[in-house]
Structure 1
Amino acid sequence: MNAEFRRRARHLLLLDIETVACAPSYDHLSERMQQLWDKKAKQLRQGPDDPMSPAELFYDRGAIYAEFGRIVCIGFGGFYWNDRDEISFKVRTYAHDDEATLLRDFKKLVEKYPADQLILCAHNGKEFDFPFICRRMLIHGIELPRALQLSGKKPWEILHQDTMEMWKYGDYKSYTSLDLLTAVFDIPSSKDEMHGGQVTPVYYEENDLEKICRYCREDVAVLAQLYLRLHNIPLVEEANIFKIETSNEKKSL
């Protein structure tokens, strides 16, 4: 394994976020937000015969928009080399019902790294994870950490990486899922217990934040393996992947 990768790995933080609709149902939205969602729903409907109502669309799709969703879990991990000089990976999660608390914890983590050296990496991170985190921080009045102050920067000034963008190699084809790429590279799936479309019902109906955290940690571990394959580096042995529960994985209500 080359020295350049080892050097870069010191400042590389792989991450994934889990988001839910901002309220348990459409009826919990304010009248103003309901009206604004109704406009959004018109854009999302697949045509006049689409059977889904605005309320159903909100529960199904609200989580993917920073204006109508919120973050309940952030998973993050990094590479290191153990005592036998074997590449290893450690992943943990921050989770909380109070999104502002969660985001402040994540900000503290990010600020432990030199802002001009930190490399964040997520799958579709430049289109989803990074802007979603920034927008939700601003909504809560949280000042963005320097490493996430991306507005106005030129593309070559931004260190953060995106495995979906790596796979494109400059091509402009449509979205390629993490699950598809891990299948292509024969990496075990993280979707055994649940999948992304189930996060909102698992949160509101099952009241199971820990299940979401487990899913998030699995996604980050899979992301790490994909990152290695995209750099033509052998996978981390399963015995050298450590998934750690964190103390703030609790409900605040």
Structure 2
Amino acid sequence: MLHKINLEHILFLDIETVPEHETFQQLDDEKKSLWEHKSQYQRKDEFTAEEFYDRAGIWAEFGKIVCISVGYFNNKGESKSFRVTTFHGEEMKLLKEFKNLLDTHFNHSKYLLCAHNGKEFDFPYIARRMIIHRINLPEKLNLFGKKPWEIPHLDTMELWKFGDFKHYTSLKLMANVLGIPSPKEDIDGGMVRDVFYIEKDIERIVAYCELDVITIAQVFLRLRNEELLDDEEIKHV
């Protein structure tokens, strides 16, 4: 079935998130209490709510998106071209820019969104942050009333599960076992908060996010047993 999908009809994406505020102390008292309750199960008695706050970025209610990287194929004949770009800056601005891309270029029913673990993380996180900012959801993220086969989302991790609901495989591990060259990343997901708040180096985060988008596209090609992209076919725009 994957071979029946036109590659040019897929928008590959990845997001990077951080806690909404740099420190726990910047939360008001009500939000501190809500965070303490929300994080209790994960931190148990090993960490206080304040100590655990550096991980708040994984929850849309306590985090924010600092960049959304997207990639798409623009093929001509036998030659492949993969274009990558990133929305970053103030969260409401980048969300509106991303929504505009979906509404103007990827709104038709033939288009699909693809991310790694996107159904559990990227897609709902973007939708929740849009609602928080009172941004109308683009059709590709508005799932209300849709039947499962009508949801325009692909997830490379789900495709790798083959129906095994308890199986989690990271993008890095999938790339390794599928023989995809490991990108030269100088940070990982656990470092994004510090790079954003302490180093204030958004360009470094953007570079990391774009590498993940390229890797997702490469994984998708391997799942179709097709040739990988080479460096000359990847264009940063």
Scaled to the shorter chain, the TM-score interval is over 0.9
* Residue in structure 2 matching 1:76, options 70, 81, 99: 70
Matched, 1:135 2:133: no
The aligned residue for residue 58 of structure 1 is: 53
Secondary structure of residue in 1 paired with 2:15 = strand
Residue 172 of structure 1, CA deviation: 1.5
The aligned residue for residue 87 of structure 1 is: 80
Q: Aligned runs of 1:40-51 on 2, under 5 Å?
A: 40-45=38-43, 47-48=44-45, 50=46
**CA distance change for structure 1 residues 3 and 29 in 2, over 3 Å: closer, same or farther?**
closer
The aligned residue for residue 11 of structure 2 is: 13
In 2: Cα distance, 1:42 partner to 1:11 partner: 42
* Residue in structure 2 matching 1:106, options 94, 98, 102: 98
In 1: Cα distance, 2:23 partner to 2:64 partner: 13
Amino acid across the alignment from 1:132: Y
Q: Is the 8 A contact 2:192 2:205 kept in 1?
A: yes
Q: Is the 8 A contact 2:161 2:167 kept in 1?
A: no
232-241 vs 67-76, which deviates more? 232-241
Secondary structure of residue in 1 paired with 2:187 = coil
Deviation sequence 1:111-167 (CA, Å, 0-9, x none): 122342220000000010000000000000000011211123221111210000000
Q: Is the 8 A contact 2:84 2:235 kept in 1?
A: yes
Where in structure 2 are there 5+ consecutive unaligned residues?
none
Deviation sequence 1:220-246 (CA, Å, 0-9, x none): 0111100100111110112111123xx
The aligned residue for residue 232 of structure 1 is: 225
Deviation sequence 1:65-121 (CA, Å, 0-9, x none): 000110010000111224x7322211111101x211110000000012234222000
* Residue in structure 1 matching 2:190, options 186, 193, 197: 197
Matched, 1:25 2:17: no
In 2: Cα distance, 1:74 partner to 1:64 partner: 15
**CA distance change for structure 1 residues 3 and 188 in 2, over 3 Å: closer, same or farther?**
closer
Where in structure 1 are there 5+ consecutive unaligned residues?
245-253
Q: Name the TM-score, length of structure 1 as normaliser.
A: 0.88
Matched, 1:148 2:141: yes
Q: Is the 8 A contact 1:190 1:215 kept in 2?
A: no
Q: Name the TM-score, length of structure 2 as normaliser.
A: 0.94
Secondary structure of residue in 2 paired with 1:228 = helix
In 1: Cα distance, 2:3 partner to 2:120 partner: 30
Aligned length: 235
Amino acid across the alignment from 2:64: R
Amino acid across the alignment from 1:103: L
In 2: Cα distance, 1:228 partner to 1:199 partner: 28
Residue 192 of structure 1, CA deviation: 2.3
